[in-house]
Structure formats: C-alpha cells, structure tokens
Amino acid sequence: MLAAAAFAGSVLVVPAPVLAEGLFDFFFGGSQRQQGRQAPPQANFFADPFGLNQQPERQTSAPVSAPRVAGSGPAYCVRSCDGKYFPLTMRGNATPAQLCQAFCPASATKVYYGGHIDSSASATGERYADSENAFAYRKALRADCTCNGRDPAGLAPVDLALDASLRAGDVIATTDGLVAYTGVRVGNEQSFDFTPIASYPGLTAAVRARLGEMKVAPVSAEIAGDAAAAGNQPRCRAIGTIARGAEG
C-alpha cells in the first residue's frame, strides 16, 4: 500500500505497504473554525493529518448556519469515537462511506455533508454538532481511538484504485524502489504505469539526487517534519516511511 507526501527540500511520508493514500488536496481540520470566517492556510496534510500542530485560532461570535440538505454538499469523514474529521475528496467509483471507512478501518465512521463541519448533517439528517462525541478530540486524543490501528493521528493506506489524483511525475515508493507515475487518464479511467526514477526524464538532476538519498523505513516509523509542495517539484508518495539519507 502507498501513502503520500509532499516533496520540497525535505520529504514527508506516511506509513503504508503497494497502494496509495494520495490525498494531497485535503486536510484534517485543526482547531474548529466558525462558519463564515476565511480559512487560514493549512499545513501539509500528511505532515499533520489531524491538525495537531496548528496554532489555536481566535473564537468569534459568527453565527452557525443551518445544515444543508442531508447528503448534499462537501463530505466529511468523522471518526465516531472522538469526533475527529477530515474532508473527503471523491476518487474512483467509491462512495463517500466506502472511502471514509477505507481510510479509517480501525474505528466506526460516519459521513456528514455540508459547507462546514459545524453545520454538517448525515444522510439521515443527524447534525454532527449533535452527535455523541462531537469535537471530543479537542479535549484529548485516545490511544484506543485510531483510524489505522496504531496511533490516533494517522490514516490507513488506501488502494491506488481509489486514488484519482495521481498525475504524471508523482513519485511512488515501492518495494522495488522509487518510481514515477507515467500512466494516462481517460475520463474516469486511468492506467497504472510507472517508470523507475533513474529512467524518468521529468526530474531535474538535483531532485533525482535528493530522491536517491532516501530510504524506505519500516511501516511503523512515525511521520516527521513538515513541507509544502513547491513549484514544479514532484510530489512523493511512499510505502512504509521514507527517511532522508545523510546530508551531503
């Protein structure tokens, strides 16, 4: 299985063994924002998937809007045991519920819909704010409340077939080494073709050298560091955890 990380000077990675987590464009919510405020820049999703290292935000008295029609609007995957949530970016033919449970198989989950978590509601009309453990994660994260069965801040790796975000040049770590995605997308279908980075022409010499310094660490290794995707540099996805080699 594969997990994803952004590459920009240093590389972030998450646990995984030949499939992909690959959600570069969505992030776990940190301190809950009130409806109607402009969202501040968010940290890299895989560096801090649950927003644990984000700065606390000032609370405002902005009113919370009414829930949207059940089952419509952006979707949030909620971990029922502590109310922790993350936005869902739909990929492949998976339903929101299937994708939510795929990322969080170790705990019961529920999908809520709405423009903001405060006003979101499930397909049956239940408001997130009225659920038993709404925002309980703000007080404490429990060791026995996890998505991946290991720690409360991580997600489980997801089959590449669910990842519609793959784009040319994404770097994937496999048991055979680092490869670049060179597949083709036609409509909702995509081919899963990969080229060893040594043979992939889309990398600069500096990036190729940097990738060559990395090693795949055991799956149990923890996520470390923080980085942002920069310019035309490739995104790097990994099985296990990629650790930087010695600085030259």
CA distances from residue 31 to 1, 84, 87, 124, 199 in whole angstroms, order as listed? 30, 11, 14, 26, 44
Give the Å distances, CA to CA, from 179 to 34, 73, 195, 231, 233: 42, 36, 5, 20, 15
How is residue 55 annotated by DSSP? P
Structure tokens at 119: 């006003």
Scanning the chain, the segments in alpha helix (DSSP H) are: 96-103, 205-212
Looking at residue 180, its pLDDT comes to 85
Taking the C-alpha atoms of residue 26 and residue 134, their distance in angstroms, rounded to an integer, is 21
pLDDT along the chain (248 residues), means of 10: 33 32 35 39 46 50 46 86 90 82 94 94 96 95 93 80 72 77 76 85 86 61 32 42 30
pLDDT at 83: 96
This prediction has a pTM of 0.51
What's the pLDDT score for residue 223?
34
> What is the DSSP secondary structure assignment for residue 127, as one 8-state letter?
B
Token pair listed for 222: 């923890």
Supply the DSSP symbol for 218.
P
* DSSP 8-class letter at 196: E
d(CA 48, CA 51): 5
Q: Which two tokens stand for residue 6?
A: 């952004």
